[in-house]
Structure 1
Amino acid sequence: MSSETPDIPDEVAERIESVRVEDEMEQSYIDYAMSVIVGRALPDARDGLKPVQRRILYAMHEMGVTSNAGHRKSSNVVGETMGNYHPHGDSAIYDALARMAQGFSLRYPLVDGQGNFGSIDGDPPAAMRYTEARMAPLAEEMLDDIEQDTVDFESNYDDRLTEPAVLPAALPNLLLNGASGIAVGMSTNIPPHNLGEVVDACIHVIENPDCAIADLIETKESPGPIEGPDFPTGARIVGKEGVYDAYTTGKGRVRVRADYEVEHDEGGKDRIIITAFPYQENKARRIERIADDVNDGKIEGITDIRDQSDRDGVRVVIELKRGANTEVVENQLVERHLETTFGVNCVALVDDQPQRLDLKRLLETYVDHRREVVRRRSEFLLEEAEDRAHILEGRLQALQNVDEVVDLIRGSEDRSAAIEALQTDEDALGFTLSEAQAEHIVRMQLGSLTSMEAEDVQTEYAEVQDEIERLETILGSQAELDRVVTEELEEMKARYDDERRTTFMEDVGSVTREDLIPEEDVVVVVTEEDYVKRMPLEEFDPQHRGGKGIIGVRPKDGDRVATVFEANTHDYLLCFTSTGQVYRLKTYEIPEMGRTARGTSAQQVLDLDGEEEINAVVDVADLDEENYLAMATRNGYVKRTAVGEFENVHSGGIRAIKLEGGDSLADVEVTDGEMDLVIASRQGMTIRFDESEARSMGRTARGVNGIKLQGDDEVAGLVATGDEDERALLTVTRMGFGKRTPLSEYRRQSRYGKGLIDIKTSERNGHVVSVNAVTADDGLVIMSESGQIMRTHVDEVSTQGRNTMGVVVMRLDDGDWVASVDTIPAIDNAPDAGADATGEE
């Protein structure tokens, strides 16, 4: 390859310009971006149309496909538009044509379509060869007076024809039908509005040019003309804060909620009837997603969903279960499916430049455009009227001197000579005519020389003079021009105004599912095979010590109860599992079921694996930043972690403690940094030491040795206590025995010792299942592995010394054992006198 510089002729070299690559790329990209912005994606603020929409309507106008003409094949309209004005492909043109015919997309459709132009269910329009279209009456108003030099025309893409740069737009289409589009680096999303309200707002701006934006918006303080967006699909707007932001800044978020009502059945089965979905919502897809949530258990209480919609409107029937909490279901539907946000972004082209416009600026831009249209139309009509008056003046002179005119014409050699004589032979006529007047006189028929024709000319001349005077008044007075603009807008309102479709509802705040769930104390049961449920605590009457309890769950064969705990439905809970994971959930997220129900899979509530069991539950409401969570493992390890480490617990859980060698988490307690920890083992040993001996560690740490276990002994539980603590240590064993011993009897020792005897364990009472710090006013919920639940008072359990076996707290059937124990702080209801030790009424 030769390295020599090519020989370039001088005339060519003079035209070569050196440019930096980055500069050329920057300018080229800017040119491309502006081409997309101006030529495709953004509407003009004057007529509210994008180029493709404007070209479709103008092509239909040129074809004569008006509202009173027959429909034409859409492919014909698309072909004309593409061939003459919009060379960007037929699919883009047909998509724009179809959208202008969709009553669910445009508040005031500009195309009258015949055939399948799509549906609110997301069905696409039929192919253009199957559908037909013509202009809608309102579209004709957009093009009215276009032949009267009201707007500028520009060359089409191949310079064969001209097309309008903007339409005269007798109506403010940008606000009426809104617009949406994505350009390069910017987008627009303008909601549709009610015609009557927008026209009133335009008139208000004309009459009050110095008005504030707030004067144009209907609020409690100001009865402005525009209430807010008016979507073609109806629905309801929640609150007006987003609307006000959108109108004052050009940007805002409007909450739109489906229109629905609740029907009550005498048999106790309610139904929710949806009659309108939010704007631009796919009805079929939304119904499908509701059904998916019902099947997945995310929405409870729905038995059936039927779409009974037809051409007359939307009707979706949601059947509820008998006895279902209708308000909860309604709120879940609103929260997940029936409310969307319309992001308003009022960006449009002003003088071919994209600008974000507030409401007043939008209206002013349109009003200024209409003023210009009326002014140019008046100038055009004035010129025509003056030309006609000039002709009529010549005719009147000819009629007044008809004999002289006839003689002059008869004496001329030809038509050209007659025209010239009428302009120059003042001696013969006594007057002269202009060329236009002379040509008109020569073309006149003899019949027009009658006296009646003369009267008609005189009358027409007077009318033309009045028209000239009217037009000159319009052009000479801003007030008169504004009056004409106002009158024409009022005429449009009288012709096309209709009622609002979108209503408003007060924003009472974000109503959550929690707001509709009553606060109540419940019992939560978890089985070894990860079935979970909750039941109202009041279903279990307190019994005296030694009772058998009542059925609280019926596990399936081979399954056993693993954990039971008491909580409030509104509590946030940190659930610690045997594998060292921690999960966070609201109690009400656990399904409520009857006492004999097995429960639902915990996979629907927590992302547990098959080996995990919930071993400890901490109420988040009881925590503050200075607290610690102390954890004890089955193998005797203990560690403390600051509460702040558990602020962001996601749905899949996070690691709470590192476990090794088959170890598992036994218990968790909340401490304040200055407490003692009491670790109890299954064989009845306890050790008490200052929590500072177990330094604070991160979530992934294993911890330090807490108690020296003997043989196959394991940790049963953990308790946090203070020097002045007057509570007792409640110990419950596997065979249903229990006792209370004052915590003061457990002296402080160094960490990692054998500890002291807490309770004598044997085959008669079994190993320790649970230890809790209690007061005499507390209550207990004890659950057996087979599903029996017993509720009693702590003071039913006698106080004994450390080295004792305890008394029977819960009587168990053969082969059944205590699975879990939880305390109810300061229970205030006494044992039911109607419940004996067997638990039978």
Structure 2
Amino acid sequence: MNTPETPQEHSEPLRRAIGSRYLTYALSTIMHRALPDARDGLKPVHRRILYAMRELRLASNGGFRKSAKISGDVMGNYHPHGDAAIYDAMARLAQDFVIRYPLVDGQGNFGNIDGDNPAAARYTEARMTAAAEALLDGLAEDAVDYRDNYDGTLQEPEVLPAAFPNLLANGSSGIAVGMATNIPPHNLDELCAACLHLIKAPNAHDETLVDLIPGPDFPTGGVIVEPRESILETYRTGRGAFRLRSRWEIEEMGRGQWQIVVTEIPYQVQKSKLIEKLAELIQAKRVPILGDVRDESADDVRIVLEPKSRNVDADVLMSTLFRLSDLEIRFSLNMNVLIDGRTPKVCSLKEVLRAFLDHRREVLIRRSQHRLEKIDHRLEVLEGYMVAFLNLDRVIEIIRYDDHPKAKLIEEFTLTEVQAEAILNMRLRSLRKLEEMELRNERDALLKERADLVDLLESDELQWSRISDELREVRKKFGAKAPGGARRTKFSELTEVAEVPLEAMIDREPITVVCSKMGWIRAMKGHVALDGPLKFKDGDESRFVFHAETTDKLLVFGSNGRFYTLSAANLPGGRGMGEPLRLMVDLPNDVEIIDLFLHVPGRKLILASNTGDGFVVTEDEVLAQTRSGKQALNVKEPARAALCRAVRGDHVAVVSQNGKLLAFPVEELPEMVRGKGVRLQKYNMARGRQGSLELDGGLADLTTFDVEQGLSWQTPNGQTRREPDVAQWLGKRAGVGRQVPRGFPKDRKFT
């Protein structure tokens, strides 16, 4: 009995299996999706879109077809991927703010510079542009190789003939596996000039090419402020970046008023998001000299920037906005392309132009050979026609009466198969055209053309001369003198304006800072009376009230030992109750606000925890640049930061909660930036209710004083008491101290 054979199992190590399959995927992504071909500058999806439009006969001077029809044909015949991806790729080829020389002529909503998406494919129509036809010119003349499509039912070109260097003209971007590419658009007139020079001088220097191609030419214009040395190095290595700024001008409004109008924004920057970013800068008061921003754009870009006052320096304002927004970007260049459609390589400008020229030479040779074959075939047919003309009556007789006219014609007149077939296929009405003179003229013209083609195929010099002529034709059709061919992106020297600190941009005005016990903070205009009546929320009351100016910085010290920095100019106005301070900085809810005060540059502070540890720190060291603050005093539960006092004397006085006072020189405290500090005063441990050891007393208050003037404190009724002789309380740091003087406040506070 025969048993069915089981399929033979195949096993291999997991490492090898995954590696081989991932390598296959990576190569597919690199070669067939993400990287453009150096010869025609297209990725497969773009090449297939243009070829499908050619098959649909969507010429630049013809009618439009629905985009859904085009993307459907591309997907069904050549590109078996999602129709949405195909339509997005086609829409990009039609966007004149993305593509320097659009390859698709779109009719309908194809998106805009604000970042809005194109309408659905069923609502838009498209056809090819003249530039796209230039890329396809020569396909019918065997200019390039063809390959089977994905299911083997049709043929598609491996590369397009490309009459101009589309890779640099329109640029490209893509992310493959382990590599990426990003190429900006360039001016076609300059590219043709560089190609012509490279034909004359194949060993041309990079400096000469950069003289002809000074930099990218973005469809949205702008101003390149990158130094020439940097641009030269970028084109020499194929990697680098270009600093691109918006174009702006000052618009006078009369009576000394003016505004800034931005007319061109950097490439690939969405205008709507740029406006949002500028509005955020105004709302966050990060650019105090900017008053308002408006978008007055129609078909062109017009962004209006209003200064806070007419005394603002326009260069300073724009320099600040260049630094903080996308009014200035750095566009990177990574010329990673497929050489000969197979090998990825980061190429220099010269290598990319050389790849294009070599491709054009191959296209020229193939088209010439194709034409030569057509001429030879036509000459053979003409020879047969001339035999038929000389023996017309006999030829007609053979065709009418002979059973095998083709064989008879070949035998009697010594014709070839092609000639006999051509005579037999001739229509009767064509007999009147058989005039010997016309046949001889056509033959002579073809013989001359054939001789020229043979000379062309045998001479490198003639080939490059023909390519030069073709480039001049392209330059005439799409160059600087053609509509839209002039350079849009200009160049300018980088004039750096000295960075102006935020404080220098703020108008200096007096304010009164008010912070409640619950942490609601506000800034009232002017210097109001500190003991005057203030409004607070129900159950809330005043805690910190002091005079300041809008240019000041405020320091907040939390019980977690961190300092937080606030700008007085960013405080909410004083008409309402203010805003919670915890929303302005990242102050946790379980952290208590220990102190809030004006920052004084160079001033020294004493920080101390409730366990009696502390040190001296300079205020400049605790300024925080972020919302999260800056750690200064390290504390660990159950310890917490308790005090922050300015150093205003040569001695420190420390009082404990159990009424012990100790004084010692300030110099005994170390000056640190961050840490736990050293012991200021010694406290005893006592048994708590649960039997655990707890701190007996702890730090109550701290102050600094000049020992020659004595120690002073404020009584509950507002009077100032002074103890001139503090000798009995003087001791060494970390001592216990002695009982406080008579009359010292019962809350153990100096103020």
> One fold, TM greater than 0.5?
yes
Residue number in structure 1 paired with 2:357: 367
Among 371, 379, 383, the alignment partner of 1:381 is: 371
8 Å CA contact 2:606–2:615 kept in 1: the answer is: yes
Report the alpha carbon displacement of residue 30 of structure 1 after superposing the two structures with TM.
Answer: 1.2
1:270-419 alignment, distance < 5 Å? 270-300=258-288, 302=290, 304-310=292-298, 312-322=299-309, 325=312, 327=314, 329-334=317-322, 335-351=324-340, 352-395=342-385, 402=390, 406-407=393-394, 410=397, 414=401, 419=406
* Residues 107 and 232, structure 1, Cα contact 8 Å, conserved in 2: yes
What is aligned with 1:256? 244
Matched AA of 1:333:
L
Contact 1:688 1:755 in 2 (8 A): no
Q: How does 1:170-569 map to 2 (within 5 A)?
A: 170-217=163-210, 224-240=211-227, 243-266=231-254, 270-300=258-288, 302=290, 304-310=292-298, 312-322=299-309, 325=312, 327=314, 329-334=317-322, 335-351=324-340, 352-395=342-385, 402=390, 406-407=393-394, 410=397, 414=401, 419-420=406-407, 423-425=410-412, 432-441=414-423, 453-497=435-479, 498-509=485-496, 512-514=499-501, 517=504, 526-529=513-516, 562=544
Residues 1:748 and 1:509: Cα distance change in structure 2 (over 3 Å):
farther
Shift of 1:492: 0.9
Q: CA deviation at 1:714?
A: 5.3
The counterpart of 2:680, out of the listed 687, 691, 705, is: 705
**Is the CA contact (8 Å cut-off) linking 1:189 and 1:346 kept in structure 2?**
yes
Q: Secondary structure in 2 aligned to 1:384? A: helix
- Distance in 1 between the 2:254 and 2:521 partners? 33
Moved more, 267-276 or 56-65: 267-276
The corresponding residue for 1:577 is: 557
State the 1:638 CA deviation: 3.1
Contact 1:269/1:321 (8 A) holds in 2: no
- 2:654 counterpart of 1:667: no
- Structure 1 residues 741-760: aligned runs within 5 Å: 749-752=731-734
TM-score, scaled relative to structure 1: 0.71
- Secondary structure in 1 aligned to 2:139? coil
Task: Report the secondary structure of 1:388's partner residue.
Answer: helix
The 10-residue stretch of structure 1 (372-381 or 337-346) with the greater mean CA deviation from structure 2: 337-346
* 1:91 shift after superposition: 1.4
Provide the rounded CA distance (Å) in 1 between the counterparts of 2:512 and 2:660. Answer: 26
Offset, 1:105: 1.8
The yes-or-no answer on 1:655 pairing with 2:642 is no
User: Which amino acid is the alignment partner of residue 388 of structure 1?
Assistant: R
Say if 2:60 and 2:129, in contact at 8 Å, map to a contact too. Answer: yes
User: What one-letter code is carried by the residue in structure 1 that aligns with 2:242?
Assistant: V
Tell me the SS of whatever aligns to 1:94.
Answer: helix
Pair 553,174 (structure 1): closer, same or farther in 2 beyond 3 Å:
farther
Decide whether aligned partners of structure 1 residues 202 and 523 sit closer, same or farther in structure 2, where only a CA change above 3 A counts: same
What is the aligned residue count? 716
Contact kept, 8 Å, 1:99 with 1:106, in 2: the verdict is: yes
Query: After superposition, what is the alpha-carbon deviation per residue over 1:162-199, rounded to whole angstroms, capped at 9, x for unaligned?
Result: 11111111111111111122223332222111111222
- Kindly indicate whether residue 625 of structure 2 is the aligned counterpart of residue 638 of structure 1: no
By how many angstroms is 1:566 displaced?
9.2
**Alpha-carbon distance between aligned partners in 2 of 1:55 and 1:307, rounded to the nearest angstrom:** 39
1:546 is aligned to none
Q: Secondary structure at the match of 1:371?
A: helix
Paired letter, 2:213 = I
Greater Cα shift, 274-283 or 519-528 = 519-528
Letter in 2 for 1:343: S
Identify if the C-alpha distance between structure 1 residues 661 and 567 changes in structure 2 by more than 3 Å, giving closer, same or farther: same
Equivalent residue letter for 1:656: A
Letter in 2 for 1:250: G
Where do 5+ consecutive residues of structure 1 fail to align? 1-5, 218-223, 427-431, 541-548, 624-628, 722-726, 770-841
Give the deviation of 1:631 after TM superposition.
Answer: 2.9
The 3 A distance-change label for structure 1 pair 515 and 712 is closer
**What is the one-letter code of the residue matched to 1:338?**
L
Measure the CA separation in 1 of the matches of 2:524 and 2:282: 22
Does the residue aligned with 1:664 lie in a helix, a strand or coil?
strand
Whether the 8 Å CA contact 2:700–2:749 is kept in 1: the answer is no
Amino acid in structure 1 at the alignment position of 2:614: V
- 1-side partners of 2:260 and 2:496: how far apart? 22
Residue 612 of structure 1 is aligned with which of 574, 581, 593?
593
Quick one: distance in 2 between partners of 1:23 and 1:397? 70
SS of corresponding position for 2:27: helix
Equivalent-residue separation in structure 2 for 1:414 and 1:746 (angstroms): 149
Cα gap change, 1:133 to 1:290, in 2 (>3 Å): same
Alpha-carbon distance between aligned partners in 1 of 2:697 and 2:431, rounded to the nearest angstrom = 136
Could you say which residue in structure 2 is the equivalent of 1:687? Answer: 663
The DSSP-based 3-state class of the residue aligned with 1:22 is helix
**Does the 8 Å contact 1:179/1:189 carry over to 2?**
yes
What does the per-residue CA deviation read over 1:348-401, in whole Å, with 9 as the maximum and x for residues that have no partner? 2223232222222211111111111111111111221233234334545666xx
The structure-2 alpha-carbon separation of the partners of 1:520 and 1:272, relative to structure 1 and needing over 3 Å to count, comes to closer
Classify the secondary structure of the residue corresponding to 2:332: strand
Native 8 Å contact 2:67 2:125 kept in 1? yes
Is this contact kept in 1: 2:513–2:522, CA < 8 A?
yes
Assess if the C-alpha contact under 8 Å between 2:93 and 2:104 holds in 1.
yes
C-alpha change, 1:21 and 1:684, in structure 2 (3 Å) is closer
Post-superposition CA distance 1:479-520 (Å, at most 9, x none): 211111121112111111211222233334586452893799
More displaced 10-residue stretch of structure 1: 181-190 or 604-613: 604-613
Distance 2:652 2:55 in 1: 93
1:118 positional shift = 1.5
Letter of the structure 1 residue corresponding to residue 205 of structure 2: A
Contact residue 521 and residue 566 of structure 1 kept, 8 A = no
Q: Which residues of structure 2 form unaligned runs of 5+?
A: 480-484, 685-695
Aligned-partner Cα distance in 1 for 2:154–2:91: 25
Residue aligned with 2:220, SS: coil
State the Cα distance separating 1:447 from its structure 2 match: 8.5
Judge which range, 448-457 or 88-97, deviates more: 448-457
Alpha-carbon distance change, 190 to 451 in structure 1, aligned in 2, over 3 angstroms: closer
Shift in Å, 1:477 = 1.5
**1:491 alignment partner AA:** E
Assess if the C-alpha contact under 8 Å between 1:632 and 1:638 holds in 2. Answer: yes
Does structure 2 retain, via aligned residues, the 8 Å contact 1:574–1:620?
no
Deviations 1:293-345, CA, capped at 9 Å, x for gaps: 433444435554432222x2122233444457464654443313422332322
21 and 762 in structure 1: CA distance in 2 versus 1, 3 angstrom threshold: closer
What does 1:106-185 correspond to in 2, within 5 Å?
A: 106-185=99-178
Alpha-carbon distance change, 237 to 565 in structure 1, aligned in 2, over 3 angstroms: farther
Change (3 A) 1:515 1:198: farther
Q: CA RMSD in A?
A: 5.1
Amino acid at match of 1:350: I
Higher mean C-alpha deviation, range 107-116 or range 298-307: 298-307
